Each structure stands twice: as structure tokens, then as C-alpha cells.
A = this chain, B = another copy of it.
Amino acid sequence: MATIKDIAKAAGVSVTTVSRALNGYSDVNEKTRTKIKEIAEQLQYSPNALARSLVMNKTNTVGLLVSELNRSGVKDNFTFEVMCGINDSLGDLGYDLILFNTNTAKQKKKSYAQLSRERQVEGVIIQGMKKDDPYLKEVIDSNIPSVLIDIEMKGTNVGYVTTDNEFGAQMAMKHLINYGHRNIAMINGSDQALISRKRLKGYKKVLKDAEITFNENYVVDGAFSEQKSEEVALQLLEEHPEITAIFCASDLMAMGVLKAAKKKGFHIPEDLSVVGFDDITLAAYVDPPLTTIAQDKYQIGYEAAKLLIDMLQGKDQRRMKMLDNHLIIRETTAPLQR
């Protein structure tokens, strides 16, 4: 636990000199510097980031706020991959990442600004927050630089990163239309999520372009849940036997549809084509492997961190970043059988 003081004493100089020598200032005798460096090494000195941050008013630390980072939601590795991207990006940029441990109970006790200020983070990346989360308003109102993932909201100090959900949905739908499908249903996530609205928009757009009348009964809410989707899909297929394809706003929901189809004795993809969204790891492993719109989750995280740091440095004025998705054709889609 050697401090700058110990080095100063050992080297017979003042702490000032040590500080400057170690931080590469030019106005220090090279002999002195080498001597100090040697001693520092000997003593296994490493600067106390706390003290430094305190005096410099700069922590080089970013907070990560993940709603409900717990047992649930482990099934899709979305969160984790984003996190890896964030971590790598911050590493490249010389920042550290601190995980905000919070939950609804704690949120009531401490405001967003308090949480952030307490830990003296320079900015925060926020993931998995619902649109109706009370914290969201605080985020916007606070002047803490923040980057939201998949929530398109901007403020003076707030930016976001997302993928092109609308175009992604269009790719999925075009794929189905090209395969001759016309009675295409959609299992969407909750309305609360912006991505749901975007994906619905893409769905409608393609229908319109293909001159297919939009049927609102064809769009049901799967709440981003596998089980819920299984239920609604079962009902949907029951009520509308003419449906030959389903576009799902997430892979997890698509997996629910697959289960529903199996229960009804449907053979996939011959009797029903299914397209998912996300390309979670499971997508390639379910039976049959899922055709889906792949999001580059790692990249989302990487760009989010980059955007945040750019914002901190006043380098980014747009405060948003939209990434491309792409279609992965596996085995849950097939040309329409006549």
C-alpha cells in the first residue's frame, strides 16, 4: 500500500516531484525521474484512483444499469453479449465499468441522479428498461450523461443506440412474401417497448407494399414471453387456419410459436413458416433451427459505450446510433405449399 509519500521519502524528494515524475511531466530531471520510477517499482506503487479522481474531478468510470439483472432473463444471452461489447469498448477507451446494483425497491429510496452521483460515474449506460419505468423520466431530467439501449429518447445529455428495427421487420416480412405467403400474422412484444412499435411498423409497411390488407386480428401480444406466445399462437392458429406464416418480434416468442405449432401437429416449415428476431444463441439450436433477424448485440454494446464517451468529450452531436440487422435463413421458413 505504498503511497506517493512513501516514494517521496525514499527518494528524498517532495511528493510534488514524485507526482510529476510519474505522470510524465517534462519539467523534471531525468535522473530524478528514473530514480523515482525505480523506487516506485520496488515499492509496487500504484496510484490510488480514488484520491486522484477526487482531486481531478474525473473518475474514468461509467455505470451500467441493467433492469432486473437477476435469475430471470438469463435465457437469452442478449444482455450478456451487450455487456461484453460495452466492456471491451470501455477497455479500449480507458474507462472502467461499475455495475449498478439496483431493483425496484432500491429505486424508490434513491433517485437516479443520487445513485450516479454517489458513485461519481461520468456517465451511465442503461439497458433493458421498460418505457414505463419511473426511472426513465429521472434519466432524462437528470443532467447525467446517459446512453439508452433500444429506447429512442434524446435529451441534452441523453443519447441512444438501437438497431434498425423497422427495416429488420421489413426484411423478415419480405422474406415471407417472397416465399409466397400472404396470410402472415405477427406476434409482437409489449406496446411499452419502442422496438415493438417499430417492428409493427415494418410489418405493416411490407404488407402495404405487397398490397395485402392489414388485418388487426393477425397481430397479437406475446409480451416477449415464450409461454405467453405459445398460448396466443395456439389461439391464433385455431381461429385463423388460413395463416401460413408468423413473424415474431423476438426469438423467445418464436420458440413459443414453435411449441404451439407442435401441439397442433403442424409440421414446420411445411405447414407454417416462422421468423424470429434477435438471433439469440438458442435460435440455432431449437428444432427446427429458427430463421430470424440477427442483431449484433456485441456491437450494440460496443457502440453504446463509444457514444457515451464521445458525448462526454463533446465529440458527438447526434447522440444516436442505429445499427443494421440482417436476415438469417434457417429452417423454419419455406415457400408456401399450394
Using CB atoms and an 8 Å cutoff, list the residues of chain A in contact with chain B. 1, 44, 46-51, 53-54, 59, 61, 69-71, 74-75, 77, 79-81, 83-84, 87-88, 90-91, 96-103, 106, 110-111, 113-115, 117-120, 281-282, 285-287, 298
Complex Cα–Cα for A110 and B48 (A): 14
User: A88 contacts which chain B residues (CB < 8 A)?
Assistant: 70-71, 101
B282 touches A118 (CB 8 A): no
Complex Cα–Cα for A59 and B98 (A): 13
B96 touches A97 (CB 8 A): no
Closest 9 CB pairs of A and B: A91-B101, A80-B80, A46-B114, A97-B99, A287-B287, A98-B98, A46-B118, A46-B117, A50-B54
Q: CB within 8 A of A96: which of B74, B99, B298? A: B99
A48 touches B118 (CB 8 A): yes
User: A46 contacts which chain B residues (CB < 8 A)?
Assistant: 110, 113-115, 117-118
Complex Cα–Cα for A46 and B90 (A): 26
User: A120 contacts which chain B residues (CB < 8 A)?
Assistant: 48-50
Q: CB within 8 A of A101: which of B53, B81, B96, B285? A: B96
Known A101-B90, A118-B49, A120-B49; contact A44-B111, beta-carbon cutoff 8 A: yes
User: A59 contacts which chain B residues (CB < 8 A)?
Assistant: 50
* Total copies of the chain: 2
- Could you jot down 22 A-B contacts, CB within 8 Å? A46-B110, A46-B114, A46-B118, A48-B118, A48-B120, A49-B118, A49-B119, A50-B50, A50-B59, A54-B54, A70-B88, A74-B80, A74-B81, A77-B80, A80-B83, A87-B99, A87-B101, A98-B98, A98-B99, A281-B281, A281-B282, A282-B282
A71 touches B84 (CB 8 A): yes
